[in-house]
């Protein structure tokens, strides 16, 4: 039989580990900005001539890989944006907005000859991406600690 005191102590220890992980999972502000800049670069890339557009996309994808590697080295794990839970309600609208602004900027550039339109899309995504990254982190930490995260942004 399991001693009730040992079971309570084990639960307390597990809870302490969760709180510790939540504190370690707090990203520095420059990483939220870096995430926003990556999304902005993806949405702004159609403003460049085709060979440079592809280079921007390649560099951005390389930076994503470096960010994942940095996070794994720092924490020992990487939190995927497509995980179950309340964080998905940040990820899915962010993905939809990113794609809408990307294709909207491309349409304005190629159909309406507004070469600057993808740059505006990219600038919007820098701000929205950084804010979404911050909100994702706050919600994720709240889920780990069992606290309510409050408003998303």
CA distance 153 to 120: 22
From 38-47, 79-88, 129-138, 140-149, the region with the lowest mean pLDDT: 140-149
Lookup result for tokens 């670069």:
41
Q: What is the pLDDT of residue 139?
A: 92
pLDDT at residue 83 is higher than 50:
yes
Q: What does the angle CA 121 – CA 123 – CA 126 come to, to the nearest 5 degrees?
A: 110
Q: What is the pLDDT of residues 41-69, one digit of tens each?
A: 999 999 999 899 999 999 999 999 999 99
pLDDT at residue 152 is higher than 90:
no
Look at the pTM and tell me if it is higher than 0.85: no
């Amino acid at each position: 039989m399991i001693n009730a005191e040992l079971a309570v102590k084990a639960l307390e220890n597990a809870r302490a580990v969760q709180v510790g992980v939540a504190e370690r999972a707090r990203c520095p502000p420059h990483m939220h900005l870096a995430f926003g800049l990556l999304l902005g670069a993806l949405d702004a890339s159609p403003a460049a001539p085709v060979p440079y557009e592809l280079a921007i996309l390649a560099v951005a994808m390389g930076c994503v890989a470096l960010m994942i590697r940095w996070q794994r080295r720092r924490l020992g794990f990487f939190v995927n944006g497509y995980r179950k839970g309340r964080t998905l309600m940040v990820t899915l609208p962010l993905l939809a907005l990113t794609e809408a602004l990307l294709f909207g900027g491309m349409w304005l550039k190629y159909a309406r000859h507004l070469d600057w339109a993808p740059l505006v899309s990219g600038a919007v995504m820098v701000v929205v991406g950084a804010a979404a990254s911050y909100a994702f982190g706050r919600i994720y930490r709240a889920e780990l600690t069992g606290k309510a995260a409050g408003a998303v942004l």
